[in-house]
Amino acid sequence: MPESRPAIELIDATKRYGDVVALDSVSLQIQPGEFFCLLGPSGCGKTTTLNLIGGFLPLSSGELRIEGRRVNDLPPHKRNVNTVFQNYALFPHMTVAENVAFGLKMEKLGRDEIRRRVGEYLDLVGLSQYAGRSSSQLSGGQQQRVALARALAKRPAVLLLDEPLGALDLKLRHHMQLELGRIHRQVGTTFVFVTHDQEEALSMSTRIAVMSGGHVVQVGTPQEIYYRPVDRFAADFIGESNFLDGVVVREDGRCAFVLEGGERMPAPEGAQVGPATLMLRPESVAVGPLGSAPGPAIKGRVEGAAFMGNHTRVTVSTAAGALVVHRLHGSGAAALAPIGQLGEEASVWWATGESTVMARAERGATDGSDT
């Protein structure tokens, strides 16, 4: 069997700007054909990582491999990667077709091959009918597509995209997210995509690297990142989360979580015994009148219920802290089931499999954002 080499491999990659450590000994593998997303707050090192891969910045230490080859000392045009920048960087005095052809001419491809590729990639991004138009006469979304066609036409092994949808309005952004997914499936090129938008990362990626302060705190599929965040930072950055402090104990061969205040709930098997934080997504928590739980539950008090359109947001206080509960509408029963009277005691419960035990950590310690 042929050995499959990672498309991109960072080994203890570090980048310093003077005293600032923008990337701190990061090791990461991106497999061929992935739609890999670097996700994190402003200043966490996403653009730096992309620029290192693209060859626009030298590493301070560590190694970078593309398709198995060490490229630390190779200039950008020898790396078989191409970049789509947020500002598109099109040539305004050129037509759409000339923009796409530009890099191919630089590569000294034959005229017929250039014409064929320009046609193929404008078709791919749905802009064939605009080939002769000046690129300055296009909308933002169209310019974005030209930039994409131009980058893909060179058939790089890896396409780097730095917040490519950041300048588009929300509706166009959602449309381009779908388009990018389709184009990725069609060409099969490895995409490395940078965003600070968690929804964008969750909806588009094969895998996500969550970054903070120059570190990669977690790599996983969107589902793993959402349901099994490794720490409070990752859980907080992606979606809304509830945190309950307590202690994991093992009794009669089963794991239990003893909340502050003494109440206990079953804990996921394999949870490490000792002080811990239990993470629950708002849609994973149920609340009902006292005694209405189908299994183990803790006591709470319904403090508020706000109609939010597609869900009702219920706030519940418990001995271990406040919880936010989302009751999704549209499923009839769940939306209509009673939650108990405001201010009265209620039962609160969740499916053990939808809870995540994480190490108890000081808040905010990992957020290196400085912008």
Q: Determine the interface stretch with ligand ADP among 39-47, 58-66, 305-313, 317-325 (rule: CB under 6 A).
A: 39-47
Q: Residue 51 Cβ, how far from Mg ion at the closest point, in Å?
A: 9
**Which of 9, 38, 47, 237 touches Mg ion (CB under 5 A)?**
47
Q: Which is nearer to Mg ion, 47 or 189 (CB)?
A: 47
Q: Residue 90 Cβ, how far from ligand ADP at the closest point, in Å?
A: 22
The binding track of 44-73 with respect to ligand ADP, each residue x by CB under 6 A or -, is xxxxx-------------------------
4, with CB counted inside 10 A (0-12, 13-18, 19+), is: exposed
What is the sign, positive or negative, of the torsion defined by CA atoms of 261, 263, 265, 268? Answer: positive
Which of the 8 DSSP states describes residue 228? S
Q: Is 42 in the site for ligand ADP (CB under 6 A)?
A: yes
Which of the 8 DSSP states describes residue 331? S
Interface positions, 18-37, toward ligand ADP (CB under 6 A): 20, 22
Q: Residue 96 Cβ, how far from ligand ADP at the closest point, in Å?
A: 29
Q: Is 46 helix (H, G, I), strand (E, B) or coil?
A: helix
Q: Is 87 in the site for ligand ADP (CB under 6 A)?
A: no
Residues 6+ apart with CB under 8 A from 249: 255, 256, 257, 258, 273
Q: Please give the structure tokens belonging to residue 123.
A: 């078709």
Residues 6+ apart with CB under 8 A from 34: 7, 190, 191, 206, 207
- Dist. CA 346–CA 272, nearest whole Å: 30
Q: Residue 42 Cβ, how far from ligand ADP at the closest point, in Å?
A: 4
**Which of 12, 73, 240, 370 touches ligand ADP (CB under 6 A)?**
370
Residues 6+ apart with CB under 8 A from 77: none
Q: Which is nearer to Mg ion, 47 or 356 (CB)?
A: 47
- Dist. CA 114–CA 120, nearest whole Å: 10
Helices (H), the chain: 46-54, 96-106, 111-124, 140-153, 170-187, 198-204, 222-227, 232-237, 333-336
Binder of residue 17, out of Mg ion, ligand ADP, none (CB less than 5 to 8 A by kind): ligand ADP
Q: Is 212 in the site for ligand ADP (CB under 6 A)?
A: no
Q: Residue 190 Cβ, how far from ligand ADP at the closest point, in Å?
A: 20
Q: Which is nearer to Mg ion, 47 or 177 (CB)?
A: 47
Give the Cβ contact number of residue 52 at 10 Å.
Answer: 25
Q: Which is nearer to ligand ADP, 238 or 244 (CB)?
A: 238
Q: Residue 39 Cβ, how far from Mg ion at the closest point, in Å?
A: 11
Interface positions, 167-196, toward Mg ion (CB under 5 A): none
Residues in contact with ligand ADP by CB under 6 A are 17, 20, 22, 40, 42-48, 370
Residues in contact with Mg ion by CB under 5 A are 47
